[in-house]
């Protein structure tokens, strides 16, 4: 683990990375704008949402896709310079990918929230969780994400929307190292509680693992293999192995999904996030038939999921 500004290629103090293909402030959706406002407050560049919004719309702040900087992020996908990131390496080909720590559900930056509790949580993740996890991972030497993903898939995860097994397996690996490297029992306990209460924690490891695999397939002459599928809440974009850094884009659609009571498709934002990298790597929805909890949540069955898989593939 490390800090974004020290690791991510091309990162600088006025750069904010986001999910999906390139986009300018004037075309960004509400959740992405909210997440950027929160990031600027977190970075200490603004002391109010109004000041952050004014700064965000100025020429001082630069924006770029996570995918163009060997990084990846769920939903709004915001990575700002001070954020701690995981370092994920493709051991076979030597390329890297970087991703932030997962905040959990509810009022979180990646959904566009920027209230006081969101900023305080981000700062706790930087000042407490990051140092604790960094020491534990260093003690372990490395964590084999391929193995954890394979096990999680056999335990009912599809490592996109369901990461309960992956998170549980990760805690099993981390726990002994957390105890060996513990400097403050209260901090270590709080970190374990946070991860244990956040079934999505492993998502921010399954996503960079998928990207690290796919980035190794870039720049094969003439290849039409998709190495990126991603959305920014306005546009949906793909990149192909043989097309270099070129983006092919179209409108991001509003998904047919399960909504909270009282809300419908008319209330929803178009699709957003880098997490479709899991589907690009043939995980996520493409193996949802083996994730019964997700199939049931969507109101179907494993048979329905298999039919959808064969329709789309």
Single residue among 143, 172, 207 that ends a domain in this structure? 207
The confidence score (pLDDT) of residue 299 equals: 60
Of 57, 107, 112, nearest in space to 273 by CA: 112
> Do 57 and 184 fall into the same domain?
yes
How far apart CA 236 and CA 229 sit, in angstroms, is 7
71: which DSSP letter? B
- Average pLDDT over the chain reads 94
CATH of the domain at 172: 3.90.1710.10
> Do 198 and 242 fall into the same domain?
no
> Do 48 and 122 fall into the same domain?
yes
Is the torsion defined by CA of 179, 183, 184, 187 positive or negative? negative
Question: H/E element holding 193?
Answer: helix 185-196
- Other beta carbons within 10 Å of 249: 17
- Indicate if the pLDDT at residue 87 is higher than 60: yes
Residue-wise pLDDT tens digits, 121-160: 999 999 999 999 999 999 999 999 999 999 999 999 999 9
How far apart CA 273 and CA 231 sit, in angstroms, is 5
pTM: 0.94
- Indicate if the pLDDT at residue 309 is higher than 80: no
Residue-wise pLDDT tens digits, 72-85: 999 999 999 999 99
How far apart CA 92 and CA 23 sit, in angstroms, is 33
> Do 225 and 170 fall into the same domain?
no
> Do 179 and 256 fall into the same domain?
no
CATH of the domain at 250: 3.90.1700.10
The confidence score (pLDDT) of residue 294 equals: 76
> Do 126 and 152 fall into the same domain?
yes
> Do 101 and 218 fall into the same domain?
no
Token couple for 224: 């039409």
- Other beta carbons within 10 Å of 167: 25
> Do 182 and 47 fall into the same domain?
yes
Confidence of residue 296 (pLDDT cuts 50, 70, 90): low
- Indicate if the pLDDT at residue 313 is higher than 50: no
Residue-wise pLDDT tens digits, 10-47: 999 999 999 999 999 999 999 999 999 999 999 999 99
Single residue among 182, 207, 232 that ends a domain in this structure? 207
Residue-wise pLDDT tens digits, 180-192: 999 999 999 999 9
The phi and psi torsions of 182 (rounded to 5 degrees) equal: -65, 125
Residue-wise pLDDT tens digits, 210-239: 999 999 999 999 999 999 999 999 999 999
Confidence of residue 285 (pLDDT cuts 50, 70, 90): confident
Domain assignment of residue 213, given as a range: 208-312
> Do 187 and 252 fall into the same domain?
no
Residue-wise pLDDT tens digits, 58-72: 999 999 999 999 999
Token couple for 226: 């998709």
As a whole number of angstroms, the longest Cα–Cα distance in the chain is: 55
DSSP codes, 277-292: HHHHTT-GGGGGGG-H
CA distances to 72, 102, 172 from 107, in Å: 20, 12, 27
> Do 88 and 153 fall into the same domain?
yes
> Do 133 and 192 fall into the same domain?
yes
Q: How many domains does the chain have?
A: 2
> Do 121 and 267 fall into the same domain?
no
The confidence score (pLDDT) of residue 292 equals: 77
How far apart CA 76 and CA 84 sit, in angstroms, is 17
Single residue among 207, 237, 264 that ends a domain in this structure? 207
The phi and psi torsions of 85 (rounded to 5 degrees) equal: -135, 150
């Amino acid at each position: 683990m490390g800090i974004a500004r020290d690791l991510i290629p091309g990162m600088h103090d006025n750069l904010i990375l986001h999910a999906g293909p390139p986009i300018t402030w004037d075309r960004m959706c509400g959740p992405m704008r909210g997440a950027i406002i929160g990031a600027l407050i977190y970075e200490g560049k603004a002391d109010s949402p109004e000041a952050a919004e004014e700064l965000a719309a100025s020429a001082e702040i630069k924006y770029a896709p996570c995918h163009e900087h060997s990084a990846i992020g769920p939903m709004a996908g915001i990575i700002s310079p001070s954020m701690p990131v995981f370092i994920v390496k493709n051991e076979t080909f030597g390329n890297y990918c970087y991703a932030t720590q997962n905040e959990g559900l509810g009022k979180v930056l990646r959904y566009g929230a920027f209230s006081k509790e969101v900023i305080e949580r981000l700062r706790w993740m930087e000042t407490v969780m990051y140092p604790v996890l960094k020491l534990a991972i260093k003690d372990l030497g490395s964590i084999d994400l391929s193995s954890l993903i394979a096990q999680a898939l056999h335990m009912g995860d599809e490592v996109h929307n369901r990461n309960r097994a992956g998170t549980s397996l990760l805690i099993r690996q981390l726990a002994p190292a957390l105890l060996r490297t513990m400097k403050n029992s209260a901090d270590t306990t709080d970190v374990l509680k946070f991860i244990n209460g956040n079934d999505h924690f492993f998502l921010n490891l399954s996503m960079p693992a998928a990207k690290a695999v796919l980035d190794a397939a870039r720049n094969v002459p003439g290849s039409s293999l998709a190495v990126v599928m991603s959305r920014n809440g306005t546009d949906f974009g793909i990149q192909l192995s043989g097309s270099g850094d070129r983006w092919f884009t179209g409108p991001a659609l509003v998904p047919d999904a399960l909504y909270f009571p009282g809300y419908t498709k008319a209330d929803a934002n178009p699709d957003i996030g880098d997490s479709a990298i899991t589907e690009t790597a043939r995980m996520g929805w493409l193996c949802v038939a083996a994730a019964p909890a997700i199939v049931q949540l969507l109101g179907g069955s494993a048979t329905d999921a298999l039919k959808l898989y064969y329709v789309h593939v």
